[in-house]
Amino acid sequence: MMNVVTRFAPSPTGFLHIGSTRTALFNWLYARHHGGKFLLRIEDTDRERSTNEAIQAIIEGLQWLGLIWDDEIIFQFSRAVRHQEAAQRLVAQGKAYYCFCTPQELDAMREKARAEGRQPRYDGRWRDRDPREAPPDVRPVIRLKVPTEGETVVQDLVQGEVRVQNAQLDDMILLRADQTPTYMLAVVVDDHDMNITHIIRGDDHLTNTFRQIQIYEVMGWRPPLFSHIPLIHGQDGAKLSKRHGALGVEAYRDMGFLPEALRNYLLRLGWGHGDDEIISQAQAIKWFDIKDVGRAASRFDMAKLTFVNAHYLRESDDERLINLLDPFFQKMRPIELTAPLKERLLKAMPGLKQRARTLEELAANALFLIHPRPLPFDEKAKSLLTSEAKSLLQKALETFKVVSIWNETTLETTLRTLAESLDIKMGVLAQPLRAALTGRSISPGIFEVMIALGKEESLERIQDVLDL
């Protein structure tokens, strides 16, 4: 069995978007499944569009998701000399040649092809010409001598066998006139030098693969095994765009999704293991095989992602959640999470996390616990705090002051006894009490809230309402 080496090779011209993230995940899982290596290469040869911000976003996005690569990051631009050497070697072997066509000649060639109803292609006019005939003021490109007969075949692990007639492919440029390598050449040389055994990428790269295989063949190198996975579409079946949720990974982090939830959700887009929906990282590594990826496009479903996230929130460690909530609290109301406030959140977290789907929602639901007094009240809570309700709160305050054991049983018994003595339903007391303690009409269970707040804070919040 060969030692599996996969790679993720993004262009840093934008952020790490959701389709690329799934590609990275599949490469990472395949390498981990086989005990191999997962490498990261930044394809930064497009100097005008590549940015340091995008490189940082890609690195941080992968780290946040836990898709940690092996070895050092390879930056493609730094390998330009190696790419040039490879192109020159092919010229020396007669497998590539200098082409001195001017931009005007290439435009005329394309126009002629269109006029004749043909695909615009380079016509090979410098393929066998003597470079000594070259015009003096034209810097040449290097083109590959592509076979004109036969076919190029890709044995794809997802798509099956795919073929193209060589006559359909023209002599592609390997090295531009300014000595910069084209994507086709740089990718092949880098994948070979990095010992990549398996290339897993979107099926929009399939046409590139025919060309790349031709470069492998003239170089005398063994090509890796290819897997072209279908793209992700929106719910409407159209190609995924920003309106569907094709955002950068950092946007999902900022919306309050957990990395393990996003990983689980993306894993199930195009790959499955029976009816299993929730799949742990250990199970994913054990079960994942690229041959099980389907050929049909997947549909991105924000509601499904949110459902999966809610599951992972419920399963999460409470202390970890509190640390993750801090940036969301700071956005809502800058506040220092002191040890007593963290303690308060910790007591309430088991109940709070059952009712939230994202960290943002969880923070919004928990804000009342750490909000400085006096609390703000939402409209519904204000409407509950009538003069009649305040007189009930006064009685509740006096009754709770003498409670010595502050737990759910004693608090419930105390409130129930008070309601019976006043000949009212417990809800009539509980509603204004909830509004006074939380500033809202909806919250976790009222006794959960009182225990999390503690006796002193609970009584002071009731007193605040009576003082208004």
List active site positions.
242
Token readout for 132 is 């000594």
> What does the DSSP assignment read for 184-215?
HHHHHHHHHHTT--EEEEEGGGHHHHHHHHHH
What's the start-to-end Cα distance of the chain, in Å?
76
DSSP category for residue 168 = G
| Distance (Å, whole) CA 110 – CA 121 | 7
- Encoded tokens for 112: 């002629």
3-state SS, residue 72: coil
Among 195, 217, 224, smallest CA distance to 96 is for 217
Q: How far apart are CA 288 and CA 290, in angstroms?
A: 7
Q: Are strands 198-202 and 225-229 parallel, antiparallel or unpaired?
A: parallel
Beta strands of 238-303 (E only): which ranges? 298-299
Residues 6+ apart with CB under 8 A from 88: 142
Please state, in angstroms and rounded to a whole number, the distance separating the CA atoms of residues 265 and 249: 13
Distance (Å, whole) CA 16 – CA 10: 8
* Residue pair 262/251 in contact by the 8 Å Cβ criterion: no
Write out the H or E segment, with its range, that includes residue 6. strand 5-8
Whole-number Å distance between alpha carbons of 289 and 278: 17
Strand, helix or coil at 143? strand
- Identity of residue 97: Y
Q: CA 423 to CA 179: how far, in whole Å?
A: 91
Strands 74-75 and 37-42: parallel
CB 219 within 8 A of CB 90: yes
- Which residues have a Cβ under 8 Å from the Cβ of 353 and sit 6 or more positions away? 313, 314, 316, 318, 321, 362
Provide, for the chain, the percentages of residues in helix, strand and coil under a 3-state DSSP scheme, each rounded to the nearest 5. 55, 10, 35
